[in-house]
Amino acid sequence: MSPSITLERITALLRQKGYKLTRQRRAVLQVIVTSHDHMTPSKIHEKVQKIDPSVGLVTVYRTLEILTGAGLICRVHTDRTSRSYLLRRPHGHHHHLICSDCGRVVDFTDCNLHRLEKRLAAETGFRTEDHILEFFGCCSLCQETAATKEEDRA
Amino acid sequence: MSPSITLERITALLRQKGYKLTRQRRAVLQVIVTSHDHMTPSKIHEKVQKIDPSVGLVTVYRTLEILTGAGLICRVHTDRTSRSYLLRRPHGHHHHLICSDCGRVVDFTDCNLHRLEKRLAAETGFRTEDHILEFFGCCSLCQETAATKEEDRA
DNA sequence: ATCCGAATTGAAAAGGATTTTCAGTTAGAT
DNA sequence: ATCTAACTGAAAATCCTTTTCAATTCGGAT
């Protein structure tokens, strides 16, 4: 099993890449590392301000850019107007199960689309190089919650 | 084989839904129906203006909203800042092969993700309701073009 | 511990995409 | 031909994101 992503490992990597570990960046990191929900820059800013109210939204944007560049966070694909980010917990290629109720994201690594890609290449001549895949639905917790409410009403 | 999407079928459907068929909407429709590339509102506007220079960008946005609501066009998921739209040619559930070189989109209908969804439900308890899947790569035409250029250089 | 330079910061401004407002125009039913 | 609700373009407003710039700060060298 590969070691889990911790604040220490991330800060070490950033330092190694020559980035300064400012107060502001630490706050952004803390928010991202402790969350399993995908969050917009604005939402991250809101949470960061509870740790350190002086941090500006612009700095959040800049930190997200660095973290994306370093491969430490992923952009989640949704239909929303604003972007959403998430700590990259799996090391390699992976996708997300996104709960539409609570925003929680579950990662999975084995998408197994090679067979489909091969079939499509044969049918259309298209050579695929990359793909976006995200699942939306209801996480186990929210299903339980819904079931409980259902019982209460009965 | 189901009948192909034509301007006539689309205008009939819109009229049936109570929408007026204005000069401007006809121009937007003509641009969308004759294109196999995904296009941003701004790109569509640019093409519409070659048909009718008086049509405003706002009207393009409004028309796209109507067409999306009527299920006649799809939003294509890319990492770009601006949205992209495409005529919905297949009737039901489908996905896109998007050429990163020329923008051309090839549709396919059989994504076959049910097995994956079932496996993920068993592993994580997540009940999936919907998904985004888009492939990016190089279409057969652009592959040929690239091959030709390669020969020329040799 | 202090100093220094380059990196980083916040605030304001700019930029770009999309939506809203509003007064004037038009499609299409009568 | 008339009428009215739907539609339009232009301008303004709204969001989200990026750029600019003067002031601050991290962290290596001293």
Q: Each residue of A71-119: pLDDT tens digit?
A: 999 999 998 889 999 999 999 999 999 999 999 999 999 999 999 999 9
Nearest-CA neighbor of A104 among B126, B120, B115, B113? Answer: B126
Residues B110 and B79 grouped into a single domain? no
Same-domain pairing of A96 and A84:
no
Closest CA to B129 of B138, B120, B137, B140: B120
Q: Indicate yes or no: CB of B137 within 8 angstroms of CB of A128.
A: yes
Interface probe for B, chosen from A74, A80, A112, A135 (most Cβ of B below 10 Å), is A135
Do A71 and A105 have their domain in common? no
Q: ipTM of this model?
A: 0.90
pLDDT for A150: 80
Please tell me whether residues B144 and B103 are part of one structural domain.
yes
- Considering B89, B108, B128, which residue would you say is the last residue of a domain? B89
Position with higher pLDDT, A150 vs A60: A60
pLDDT at residue number B151: 80
Boundary (domain end) residue, out of B35, B69, B89: B89
Quickly count: other Cβ atoms within 10 Å of residue B103's Cβ. 19
Tell me which residue range forms the domain holding B3. Answer: 1-89
**Residues in chain B, how many?**
154
B78 and B98 in a single domain? The answer is no
Residue B1 has pLDDT above 80, yes or no: no
Q: Which of B135, B138, B139, B144 to mutate to test the interface with A (most CBs of A within 10 A)?
A: B135
Bridge partners (DSSP) listed for residue B137 = A128, B99
- One domain, residues A22 and A73: yes
- Residue position matching structure tokens 């209460």: A152
CATH number at residue A61: 1.10.10.10
* Same domain? B44 vs B66: yes
Question: Percent of chain B, pLDDT > 70?
Answer: 98
Predicted local confidence at residue B15, as pLDDT: 95
- Which residues partner with B73 through β-bridges? B87
| The pLDDT of residue B3 is above 80 | no
Query: Model confidence at B152, in pLDDT bands (50, 70, 90)?
Result: confident
Of all residues in chain A, the one with the smallest CA distance to B128 is A137
Q: Are residues A117 and A83 in the same domain?
A: no
Q: Which of A125, A129, A133 sits opposite B140 (nearest CB)?
A: A125
Same domain membership, residue B64 and residue B11? yes
The structural domain count of chain A equals 2
CATH number reported for the structural domain that contains residue A137 in this entry: 3.30.1490.190
State pLDDT tens for residues A54-71.
999 999 999 999 999 999
Q: Using the CA of B63, which nucleotide's C1' is the nearest one?
A: D7
Predicted confidence band at A153 (pLDDT cuts at 50, 70, 90)?
confident
The answer to whether residues B83 and B109 belong to one domain is: no
Co-location of B59 and B2 in the same domain: yes
- What token pair was written down for B146? 């690239």
End position of a domain, from candidates A40, A74, A89: A89
The alpha carbon torsion through B119, B120, B124, B128 (nearest 10 deg) reads -130
- The per-residue pLDDT for B4 is 78
Q: How far is CA A7 from CA A26, A56, A65, B74, in A?
A: 9, 21, 18, 40
Overall average pLDDT of the A37-47 stretch: 98
Written as six digits, the tokens of A124 are 């259309």
Question: Are both A65 and A97 inside the same structural domain?
Answer: no
Report the C-alpha gap between B126 and B122 in whole angstroms: 8
Q: Distance from residue A45 (CA) to nucleotide C12 (C1'), in Å?
A: 18
In whole angstroms, what is the distance from residue A126 CA to residue A112 CA?
A: 18
What integer best gives the mean pLDDT of chain A?
A: 94
